């Protein structure tokens, strides 16, 4: 991108960011990013988060989704009713009551640590707002997104309880129908969610699998 265009793009992004109502709401509520409202909207609709659950969040940093889960597990009552475990390759600023693991869930060493802290039978819900670093090349970005979705699905089929749920970010476009089909092989119900907090012009959407099928 030529320097002049890049400069104008940065200016336009900053203007939009500073005038974004969800950015202002996040600042008012103390959320680490506007992404908090995406999960809040989906949970308001689908009632995924319930006190007493064990929830694993993949790719949690900077932690805005973690803050929402923590609130809805009852932390406002000064006692986290349930268990919240986060995984990320980057360290995250700690949150009371949250067990944050630093590591790559594709690596055996990280999985062994996770298995030690998961309750017998696994977790009730896996959530992931992970996205690849975008190159601007649609086919390449779709392939990278697909890799993350497949990893989250593979992780969930091992660590979710039967009947559990998985929520992941994805992109509308190339590969989307295949991702939906892969979900349908593992879950009783597959839903597509586009929360209002997700910018309308963005290809970003969320894929929700409800009711993990029993393992063969």
pLDDT tens digits for 132-168? 887 777 778 888 899 999 999 999 999 999 999 999 9
Summarised one tens digit per residue, pLDDT across range 79-119 is 678 999 999 999 999 999 999 999 998 888 998 898 899 98
What are residue 167's DSSP bridge partners? 127, 208
Exposure string for 81-96, b = 16+ CB within 10 A, e = fewer: ebbbbbbbeeebeebe
Query: What would the mean pLDDT of 61-65 be, rounded to a whole number?
Result: 96
List Cα–Cα distances, 142 to 135, 158, 179, in angstroms.
10, 25, 11
* Spatial distance between the Cα atoms of 114 and 108, rounded to a whole number of angstroms: 10
Told to judge if 47 belongs to the known catalytic residues of this protein, a careful annotator would answer no
User: Is the pTM for the entire model greater than 0.85?
Assistant: yes
Residue 5 has pLDDT above 50, yes or no: no
| Mean pLDDT to the nearest integer, 181-186 | 96
Catalytic residue of the set 83, 169, 184, 196: 169
């Amino acid at each position: 991108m030529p320097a002049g265009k890049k400069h104008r793009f940065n200016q336009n992004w900053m203007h939009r960011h500073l005038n974004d109502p969800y950015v202002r709401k996040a600042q008012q509520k103390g959320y680490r990013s506007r992404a908090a409202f995406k999960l809040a909207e989906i949970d308001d609709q689908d009632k995924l988060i319930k006190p007493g659950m064990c929830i694993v969040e993949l790719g949690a940093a900077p932690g805005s989704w973690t803050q929402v889960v923590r609130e809805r597990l009852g932390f406002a009552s000064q006692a986290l009713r349930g268990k919240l475990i986060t995984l990320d390759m980057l360290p995250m600023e700690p949150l009371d009551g949250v067990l944050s693991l630093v590591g790559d869930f594709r690596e055996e060493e990280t999985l062994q640590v996770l298995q030690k802290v998961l309750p017998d039978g696994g977790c009730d819900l896996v959530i992931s707002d992970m996205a690849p670093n975008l190159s601007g090349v649609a086919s390449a970005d779709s392939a990278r997104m697909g890799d993350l979705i497949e990893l989250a699905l593979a992780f969930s089929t091992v660590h979710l309880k039967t009947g559990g749920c998985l929520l992941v970010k994805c992109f509308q476009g190339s590969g989307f129908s295949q991702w939906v089909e892969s979900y349908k092989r593992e879950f009783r119900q597959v839903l597509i969610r586009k929360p209002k907090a997700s910018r309308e012009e963005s290809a970003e959407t969320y894929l929700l699998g409800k009711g993990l099928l029993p393992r063969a």
